[in-house]
A and B are shown apart, each in its own frame.
Chain A
Amino acid sequence: MSKLTFARAINAGLRKSLENDPKVILMGEDIGSLGGVFRVTDGLQKDFGKHRVIDSPLAESGIIGTAVGLAYRGYRPVCEIQFDGFIYPAFDQIVSQVAKMHYRTQGRVKMPITIRVPFGGGIGSPEHHSESPEAYFTHTSGLRVVAVSNPQDAYTMIQQAIASDDPVLYFEPKRRYHDKGDVDESIDLSQAMPLDKAAVVNAGSDVTLVAYGPLVKTAKAAAQAAADEGISVEVIDLRSLSPVDYPVVEASVRKTGRLVITHEAGQNGGLGAEIAASITERCFNYLESAPVRITGFDVPYPYSKLEMHHLPDLDRILDGVDRTLGRHNSLSGLEG
């Protein structure tokens, strides 16, 4: 067991995959001598060479589009998109090509491509550096979409993503890159929790709180604060955003009767909406109150001086928990 930062944990996972499978290659902007702008790939080019850790031209469509060709040829490309907001030039390749190839060829061509995306806000960055684009991708069938929340998962899930024969969008919460945690590097991947499983990270009985990526830490802190007031919150780390592990969420809501979902992305058309609807369908008779979403606002990601208002924090999450409990209703009387 070692204590690693989130960024080091991903680095260790990438290293392991590069060691274990000569078909694994890394591609991205500045991932070589610089080690990526977040240093996630630090030292990998030095140890594995320029042919396996490739500094690509500044062309996101090019990065993903050539990965498609490499995958055709039997490689397992791991692409880094430098920041969430720069994935859009590659959107066409991801949704039109990567996602559909397996279906199109009825399984004859696999796309074992991993796309690493630092995502989310909270680091005081300029425009296009704090986006939460996950819903665009969860809406696209054929892709697996995961978001990691702690160094251990970061370490195992990057390896599982690379080993997966399906394309995986692997979202890394950039504001947590420096958080440290225990990582068991000897973990046997076949024994580890599968890539598409949700985890109950705090047991509770009054309210189910679903979070993923950067907000898992916030959700756990909120559960702790709620416990101080005598409210028992069960926190679920979704881990896989597509497909969602509904049985785990469902079992929790059947127990608590209340559901709060939180994410940094805006509310409209977000994952919270999908989970609220699906859980309402599955557990209508068990629900004591309407599911509540605590999300970013439906505005473009604001300038950094205002981002702390946009991002769900502990207090806003607790406000949502209170609402499901009928403790107060800060929304009552609002029109529209």
Chain B
Amino acid sequence: MQNDAPRPGQSAQNPLRTGGNLLQLVSPEGERISHPEFDLWIKDIGDEQLGSLFEDMTVIRRIDTEATALQRQGELALWPPLLGQEAAQIGSSRSLRDDDFVFPSYRESGVAYIRGAHVSEIAQVWRGNALYAWDPQRINMATPQIIIGSQSLHATGYAMGVQLDGASTAVLAYFGDGATSEGDVSEAMVFAASFQAPVVFFCQNNHWAISEPVRVQSHVQLADRPTGFGIPSLRVDGNDVLAVMAATRWALDRARSGGGPTFIEAVTYRMGPHTTADDPTRYRDPNELEDWAAKDPILRLRRLLDAKGLLTEELEGRVKAKADAVAAELRTSCVNMPDPQPLDVFNHVYSTPNSWIERQKDHYSRYLSSFNQPVEEGAL
């Protein structure tokens, strides 16, 4: 169906969309707002689809709550919550095809869940059991990136590869508002524009970069910045799952059909701390949180479902059961995750054996075994 839709961003009259207007298809009160162009991109979203979007958003919120609890209980070393960003993550990731490739930051656990990562894979990196989360090649999603903005270049390079291959894959890079200040993100836009690479830059403007409000990063709306690089951009209500979906489908379609890169600013809000190590009371006005809580993305979808008479006990029961099951799976797999072995520290530094590291490994192995030498009879 996506292919039949007109391509609003490519119409001759409006080749570049700048940051002014915020695309919204559902109001915070849960009313469906129609839009002449973008409605076409979600024509196929019927009752059942709405229910499943609701399920996915509820499940990832539950993963988030459970992971935060696991961190408090010492089972995870750290956790970056995505509370409030469910619509941005589900709307965008559910727009992807399996063969598309995703380059995330560290906060895209919801996206990883949609791409097919197991919750234990999502957890292992935050537990300190591995440096990678999932197998990137299996779910077409790079492993979480901690260096701010780096992944935007990787996504652009991947997209250049797609182009060289003549494939119809699209690439999606996730990053935050703070990341737009990093040189890497600007450089990614330079490359993407110069080569018209099939990449979508998906910026979740959650208003904060740890303690710094978005105004420290940008004097203009973030969606205004890419236009200077020649990249069309769209500002979308990031708490409106349908708007995010329509925008992302539009941008992915542009990428696939040779339209080049697009930048989406999903305007949302990080309702929790930056990570479990952060204390937002030191820098954030509680009223701001209250305002945004009223725009909660899950609440908004509930209201829409309710207005359509879809918020049935059956749906709620099914969604709750699913969320409970996923949370239980996360907990069990996390608590039972085996600790790595000491000599694992030396594995996979190079793809072929390296005599220096083998020597250090041998030495360390002897050293470790020196602690449990059997005590000789009569030695004491």
Asked if B183 contacts A59 (CB within 8 A), the reply is yes
A303-B131, A334-B359, A335-B359 as given contacts; A309 in contact with B342, CB under 8 Å: yes
How many of chain B's residues touch chain A, expressed as a range? 35 or more
> In the complex, are the beta carbons of A58 and B366 less than 8 A apart?
no
Partner of B183, one of A89, A298, A335, A336: A89
Across the interface, do A330 and B363 meet the contact criterion of CB distance under 8 Å?
yes
Which of A55, A127, A303 meets B212, CB within 8 Å? Answer: A55
| Chain A neighbourhood of B210, CB < 8 A | 29-30, 34, 37
| Given contact pairs A127-B146, A299-B345, A319 touches B367 in the complex (Cβ within 8 A) | yes
Roughly how many angstroms separate A334 CA and B148 CA in the complex, as a whole number?
42
B340 at the interface (CB under 8 A from A): yes
Please give 8 more A-B residue pairs, beta carbons under 8 A apart, in addition to A126-B146, A299-B345, A304-B77.
A29-B212, A34-B211, A58-B178, A86-B148, A88-B147, A89-B184, A125-B78, A334-B363
Asked if B345 contacts A61 (CB within 8 A), the reply is no
Asked if residues B128 and A330 are in contact (CB atoms below 8 Å), the reply is no
Binding stretch for chain A, among B188-196, B221-229, B234-242, B349-357 = B349-357
**Set B128, B146, B282, B346: member contacting A34, Cβ < 8 A:** B282
User: Does A247 have its Cβ within 8 Å of any Cβ on chain B?
Assistant: no
Q: Are B346 and A299 in contact (CB under 8 A)?
A: yes
Complex interface residues of chain B between 263 and 316 (CB less than 8 A to chain A): 277-279, 282-283
The A contact surface, by secondary structure, is loop
Q: For the complex, is A278 an interface residue (Cβ under 8 Å from B)?
A: no
* Cβ-based interface call for B125 (8 A): yes
Interface pair A126/B359, CB less than 8 Å apart? no
How distant is the Cα of A10 from the Cα of B345 in the complex, in angstroms? 34
Question: Are A297 and B129 in contact (CB-based, < 8 A)?
Answer: no
Q: Is the CB of B147 within 8 A of A125?
A: no
Residues of A within 8 Å of B356, CB to CB, are 268, 298, 336
| Distance A86 CA – B184 CA, assembled complex (angstroms) | 13
Query: Is B179 an interface position by the 8 A CB rule?
Result: yes
Contact with B along A228-247 (1 / 0, CB 8 A): 00000000000000000000
> Do A126 and B364 touch (CB < 8 A)?
no
List residues of B whose CB falls within 8 A of some A CB. Answer: 77-78, 106, 125-131, 146-149, 178-179, 181-184, 209-212, 216-217, 277-279, 282-283, 339-340, 342, 344-346, 349, 355-360, 362-364, 366-367, 370
The answer on a CB contact under 8 Å between A298 and B357 is yes
User: Taking each of A37, A58, A89, which has the highest tally of chain B beta carbons within 10 Å of its own beta carbon?
Assistant: A58
**Interface residues of A, Cβ cutoff 8 Å to B:** 29-30, 32-35, 37, 55-62, 85-86, 88-89, 124-129, 267-268, 297-300, 302-306, 309-310, 316, 319, 330-331, 334-336
Neighbouring B residues of A33 by C-beta, 8 Å: 211, 282-283
Measured in the bound complex, the distance between the Cα atoms of B370 and A60 in whole Å is 45
Q: In the bound complex, do residue A34 and residue B183 qualify as a contact, i.e. CB atoms below 8 Å apart?
A: no
Q: How far is the CA of A316 from the CA of B182 in the complex (A)?
A: 40
Bound state CA distance, A48 and B283, in angstroms? 17
Nearest-neighbour CB distance to chain A for B369, whole angstroms, equals 10
Q: Does A128 lie within 8 Å of B147, measured CB to CB?
A: yes
B210 to chain A minimum Cβ distance, whole angstroms, is 5
Contact B370 A330 (CB under 8 A): yes
**B78 contacts A297, C-beta separation under 8 Å:** no
Task: Provide 27 A-B residue pairs closer than 8 Å at the C-beta atoms, listed in order of the A residue.
Answer: A30-B212, A32-B211, A34-B211, A34-B282, A34-B283, A55-B211, A57-B212, A57-B216, A58-B148, A58-B149, A61-B183, A62-B183, A86-B147, A128-B147, A297-B357, A298-B357, A299-B346, A302-B344, A303-B125, A303-B129, A305-B340, A309-B345, A330-B366, A330-B370, A331-B363, A336-B356, A336-B359
For A37, what are the chain B residues with a Cβ–Cβ distance below 8 Å? 210, 277-278
